[in-house]
Amino acid sequence: MFDFFREGLIQFFGYSGFGNCTWGHIIMICVGLFFITLGVVKEFEPMLLVPIGFGMIIGNIPFTDGLQIGVYENGAVLNYLYFGVIKGFYPPLIFLGIGAMTDFSALISNPKLILVGAAAQFGIFAAYAIALLLGFTPMEAGAIGIIGGADGPTAIFLSSKLAPSLMGAIAVSAYSYMALVPVIQPPIMRLFTNEKERVIRMRPPRAVTHREKVLFPLFCILLTAFLVPSGIPLLGMLFFGNLLKECGVTKRLANTASGPLIDIVTILIGLTVGASTQATNFLTPKSILIFALGAFSFVIATATGVLFVKFLNLFLKEGNKINPLIGNAGVSAVPDAARVSYVEGMKFDKTNYLLMHAMGPNVAGVIGSAVAAGILLSFLY
Amino acid sequence: MKSISKYIILLALVFTTGAVFGQSVRDLRFNEILIKNTDNFDDEYGRHVPWVEIYNTAYNSVNLAGCFLTDDTTGFAAAGKKGGEIPSHWYHIPKTDVKTNMPQRSYIVFYLDAEPLYGTFHANFDPRTSQTSYIALISADGKDLIDLMHYPKQDLMDSTRSFGLEKDGITGHAHFLDQFTPGSSNEVKFTVSKQERLKTDDPYGIGLAIISMSVVFTALILIFFMLKLFGYSSKKIAQRNAAKNAPAATAMAATAKSGGDTNKEEDTDQLTGEEAAAIAMALHLHFNSMHDEESEVITIDMPSAHYSPWAQKGLVMKRTPRIRK
């Protein structure tokens, strides 16, 4: 009788998390807890870091294989939820919501700001080149480079196609750096600007008519999708969402896309991406390299955005010049990057409000990173 | 008349539905055939026997269970008539084997060895002893000839090469194939993958970076010009509207001028934009009963802090992260 209990307890212990725990699991659970702390205490991207952090904890609780529990096990509930990440249909749905939330007025009123959004995409391709040098395959390098776009959904979409095995590391890296935008970008912005440039006052934007706002998504999808058809899933949903918002007759649809729908998808994408970072797959030297390349890509993107504004200013008349502090907003971390421009601008001139000006390159960055993802997909997939 | 229309629509729907179901089986094509099999593809018993490959051209799965394979279509016309019997010499593909369900754009191989007892994929005829030089696939009800492939029998008996379609599923261009491809595409291409090509042609990624940045800039420059056009046309429309309203404005100005001192007083009483907005807001809230008791104060006074409308837009966004020092 005693032997039966003893064996039963040993067997139970073998099935429990304690019996299967490794140092890797503990490290990843700690990383998950750190993410939740960053989200809750520091309020760094809580909408993303809290679900990802909790997903990391769920994904790294050790269990015996074959019980259909883990995110990588066929038939598991988490595996079904992860399907949207693997097949890449969560990111376009998030883009639908982003489109329905974004006001492109700042861009429409000052079109030259769109070029800043294009210049900031250089970070993607610089990281691609460095990743190639470090021995990654072209497909892996492309997936890693997109971290520089500072766009989580785009990073997940592209890595699910080009390098599914690296998707967990890429997604976590992208979202981490997006959360750290207020920390990473300001030193780079200050490094490449001088006192005089930081206090440049930009002309107030003109009023944008309803007709322009409605025509904008229609023309944009035609112009960009014909050029880069592989970007249709992201660009199509982005501009469709924006049309729902701006046309004025589909308010309910726009509200759903920008509210409940994007919230649901954000929960699912955050949780499952977090759960996909199982220690066995995640704690590898490659993941560390991906994090390093992601940071490099982000820094280059910010720097090229700022430098490009300075370059543009060489050709602009006095009064029309652009404050280079909005150059960082060319990466598509909306609206955090724009807010960083605003906060930095206020530090040097309390009455210089850069927020709406920075929203121009910021939303241009969303378009630019989606176009860049489409190009990488067409070249590498 | 209305009821007749209903019946016509119903019939059309029934036929359309039938066509949709039929379309799946009709998408099957003979793709490749080999008769003289000396050391080629062998069956599950290790025998080298003639084989034929069928290709599913559809983008959905197709189950060919119940269909017929034959080298002799005699009796097809009779089978197609009402009450007609299916000829016994046709090979009836069993309905019990799940392997007869072909995924989209897939291939399946039948052994033509006249040994139907050997399994589902062993037909009951052998082209080497057949009187004809074709092979046919007939639908489960025996009424539709799904596909029929003619082949140069004598040449195939003498040669060890296979005969098939140049492009998978596209009939009309059948010839002797350079390679045997049972269970896979006839279009054998020795192409270098995109990755391999990039590795050799652009090992440092500079070429891709230049091309990609050019495309990104092109796409956004196109949008830039479009937005410029928007701005230009908006300006034109505004000017046109202003010109249209000009006579009325001139008349009002003239009236104001002739009104003398009393109107001067009225001018000073004119509302500013901010005052009008505040009043409109208050009226809107009042008439829509959105807030009976306001917790906030609506005022036209300037706030002590220097908020601009832009800064206030920032307030509706996420709060700036607090950094504890």
A49-63: per-residue pLDDT in tens?
899 999 999 999 988
In chain B, the percentage of residues whose pLDDT exceeds 70 is: 73
Contact predicate A80/A72, CB 8 Å: no
With CA atoms as reference, report the closest residue to A175 among A85, A89, A83: A85
- Mutating which of A353, A356, A359, A378 best tests the B interface, going by the most B Cβ atoms within 10 A? A353
Query: Residue A102 pLDDT > 70, yes or no?
Result: yes
Q: What percent of chain A has pLDDT over 70?
A: 100
- B132 with B86, same domain: the answer is yes
The answer to whether residue B170 sits within a structural domain is: yes
* Residues paired with B137 in a beta bridge: B69, B147
Q: B314 and A355 in contact by Cβ < 8 A?
A: yes
Q: What is the mean pLDDT of chain B?
A: 79
pLDDT at position A142: 93
Cα angle A172-A175-A178, degrees, rounded to a multiple of 5? 150
Q: Are residues B157 and B70 in the same domain?
A: yes
Q: Which residue, A320, A354, A344, is CA-closest to A111?
A: A320
* Tokens, residue B281: 């807001």
- CA-nearest of A194, A220, A222 to A313 is A194
**CA–CA gap between residue B35 and residue A63 (Å, rounded):** 55
Gap between the Cα atoms of A212 and A362, Å rounded:
19
pTM of the model: 0.70
Question: Average pLDDT in the A59-85 region?
Answer: 87
| CA of A60 vs chain B CAs: smallest distance (Å) | 28
The predicted model gives A75-101 an average pLDDT of 91
- How many domains does chain B divide into? 3
Report the residue from A43, A355, A375 with minimal CB separation from B319: A43
Give the pLDDT band (50/70/90) at residue B238. Answer: confident
- Nearest CA to B181 out of B202, B204, B165, B193 is that of B165
Task: Find the range with the poorest average confidence among A2-16, A260-274, B19-33, B309-323.
Answer: B309-323
User: Taking the mean position of all CA atoms in its chain, how far away is CA B96?
Assistant: 33
Only one residue has tokens 């750290």, namely: A180
Q: In whole angstroms, what is the distance from residue B296 CA to residue A101 CA?
A: 26
Which residues make Cβ contacts (< 8 Å) with residue A53, sequence separation at least 6? A31, A32, A33, A34, A35, A36, A37, A38, A39, A274
Predicted pLDDT of residue B18: 45
Chain A contact for B226 (CB, 8 A cutoff): yes
Of B195, B220, B230, the CB nearest to A138: B195
Measured between alpha carbons, how far is residue B69 from residues A68, A328, B111, B125, B254 in Å? 43, 68, 11, 9, 97
Cα A67 from Cα A63, distance rounded (Å): 8
CB contact under 8 A, B205 and A129: yes
3-state helix, strand and coil shares in percent for chain A, rounded to the nearest 5: 75, 0, 25
B179 shares its domain with B227: no
Cβ proximity of A273 and A55 under 8 Å: yes
Residues B16 and B128 in one domain: yes
Does B206 reside within a domain?
Answer: yes
**pLDDT exceeds cutoff 60 at B260:** no
Query: What number of C-beta contacts closer than 8 Å exist between A and B?
Result: 148
> Does the pLDDT of residue A356 top 90, yes or no?
no
Q: How confident is the model at residue A312 (pLDDT cuts 50, 70, 90)?
A: very high
* Structural domain for B220, as ranges: 202-265
More confident residue, B27 or B321: B27
Query: Would the CB atoms of B223 and A111 count as touching at under 8 Å?
Result: yes
Residues B46 and B182 in one domain: yes
Token pair, residue B61, equals 């799965």
Share of chain A above pLDDT 90, in %: 57
CA distance A34 to A125: 30
End-of-domain residue from the set B190, B213, B228:
B190
Which is nearest to B317 in space by CA: A336, A183, A255?
A: A336
Is A27 strand, coil or helix? Answer: helix
Q: Is residue B255 pLDDT above 80, yes or no? A: no
Closest CA of chain B from A87, distance in Å: 18
Model pLDDT for residues B38-68, shown as the tens digit of each residue:
888 899 899 999 999 999 998 888 898 999 9
Q: Check whether residue B45 and residue B113 sit in a common domain.
A: yes
Range of lowest pLDDT (A254-268, B110-124, B273-287)? B273-287
Radius of gyration of chain B (CA): 40
d(Cα A313, Cα A298) in Å, to the nearest integer? Answer: 23
Which of A41, A128, A154, A354 should be substituted to probe chain B, the one whose Cβ sees the most B Cβ atoms within 10 Å? A128
Q: Average pLDDT, stretch A280-309?
A: 91
Average pLDDT on A331-353 reads 89
Does A85 have pLDDT greater than 80?
yes
Contacts of A43 in chain B (CB under 8 A): 318-319, 321-322
Phi, psi at B29, each rounded to 5°: -140, 145
C-beta atoms of B318 and A129 within 8 A: no
Q: Is residue B147 part of a domain?
A: yes
Q: With 50 as the cut, is the pLDDT of residue B295 above it?
A: yes
- Interval A105-118 mean pLDDT: 91
Instruction: Find all residues with CB under 8 Å of A368, minimum gap 6, and list them.
Output: A117, A118, A120, A121, A149, A330, A332, B216, B219, B220
Verify that B211 and B148 share a domain, yes or no.
no
Q: Say which residue the tokens 């649901």 belong to.
A: A264
Specify whether B116 is located in the same domain as B79. yes
Same domain, B210 and B289: no
Q: State the sign of the Cα–Cα–Cα–Cα dihedral A165, A171, A176, A182.
A: positive
Q: Is residue B232 less than 8 Å (CB to CB) from chain A? A: no
| Six-digit token string for B95 | 């309905």
Q: What residues of chain A lie within 8 A of the CB of B311, using their CB?
A: 342, 353, 355
- Predicted confidence (pLDDT) at residue B309 exceeds the cutoff of 80: no
Higher pLDDT, B302 or A270: A270
**A chain contacts of residue B216, beta-carbon cutoff 8 Å:** 118, 121, 368, 371-372, 375
Contact A127, A144 (CB under 8 A): yes
Q: Does B282 touch chain A (CB under 8 A)?
A: no
Spatial separation of the C-alpha atoms in residues A33 and A269, rounded to whole Å: 18
* Calpha distance B94→B101 (Å, rounded): 11
Distance CA(B93)–CA(B108), nearest Å, equals 13
Q: Which amino acid is at A293?
A: L
pLDDT band at B217 (very low <50, low <70, confident <90, very high): very high
- A146 Cβ contact partners less than 8 Å away, ≥ 6 residues apart: A124, A154, A155, A158, A159, A170, A174, A369, A372, A373, A376
Contact B227 A126 (CB under 8 A): no
Burial A256-287 (b: 16+ CB within 10 A, else e): bbbeebbeebbebbbbbbbbbbbbebbbeebb
| Amino acid sitting at position A127 | A
Indicate whether A86 pLDDT > 60: yes
A188 versus B315: which is more confidently predicted?
A188
Note whether B287 and B157 are same-domain residues. no
Paired tokens of A228: 């880069």
In this complex, the residue of A107, A125, A209 whose CB is nearest that of residue B205 is A125
Q: Which residues of chain B make contact with A128, given a CB cutoff of 8 A?
A: 205, 208-209
Residue B70 backbone dihedrals phi, psi, to 5 degrees: -155, 160
Cβ–Cβ under 8 Å, residues A115 and B217: yes
Residue B17 confidence (pLDDT): 46
In which band, very low, low, confident or very high, does the pLDDT at A70 lie, cut at 50, 70 and 90? confident
Higher-confidence residue of B324 and A147: namely A147
ipTM of predicted assembly, 2 dp: 0.88
A290 and A144 in contact (C-beta within 8 Å)? yes
Q: How far apart are CA A361 and CA A301, in angstroms?
A: 12
**Long-range contacts from A307-316, C-beta under 8 angstroms, 24+ separation:** A307/A119, A307/A192, A308/A115, A308/A116, A308/A119, A308/A120, A309/A116, A310/A192, A310/A193, A310/A197, A312/A112, A312/A115, A312/A116, A313/A197, A313/A200
Task: Flag whether B324 is in a domain.
Answer: no
Contact B227 A227 (CB under 8 A): no
Mean pLDDT of A67-94: 89
CA–CA separation, A154 vs A167, rounded Å?
Answer: 11
DSSP per-residue letters across A207-237:
P--HHHHHHHHHHHHHHHHHH-GGGHHHHHH
pLDDT in tens, B154-201: 888 888 889 999 888 888 788 898 888 899 888 877 667 777 888 888
Q: Give B243 or B314, the one with higher predicted confidence.
A: B243
Residue B322 within a domain: no
pLDDT surpassing 90 at residue B2: no
The stretch A178-186 carries a mean pLDDT of 88
Q: What is the pLDDT of residue B316?
A: 52
Of B216, B311, B322, the CB nearest to A121: B216
Instruction: Examine the fold and report which residue of B265, B288, B315 is the final residue of a domain before the chain moves on.
Output: B265
The answer to whether B176 contacts chain A (CB < 8 Å) is no
The alpha helices in B71-126, defined as continuous H runs, are: 76-80
From B248, B265, B282, the end of a domain falls on B265
Which residues 6+ apart lie within 8 Å of A303 measured at CB? A188, A191, A192
Contact, A113 vs A337, CB < 8 A? no
A162 neighbors A193 (Cβ within 8 angstroms):
no
B100-111 pLDDT, tens digit each = 999 888 999 999
A128 in Cβ contact with A145 (< 8 Å): yes
Burial class (CB in 10 A: 0-12, 13-18, 19+), B171: middle
pLDDT at residue B276, as a whole number: 81
Q: A182 vs B221: CB contact, 8 Å cut-off?
A: no
pLDDT at position B84 is 75
* Helix (H) and strand (E) counts in chain B: 8, 11
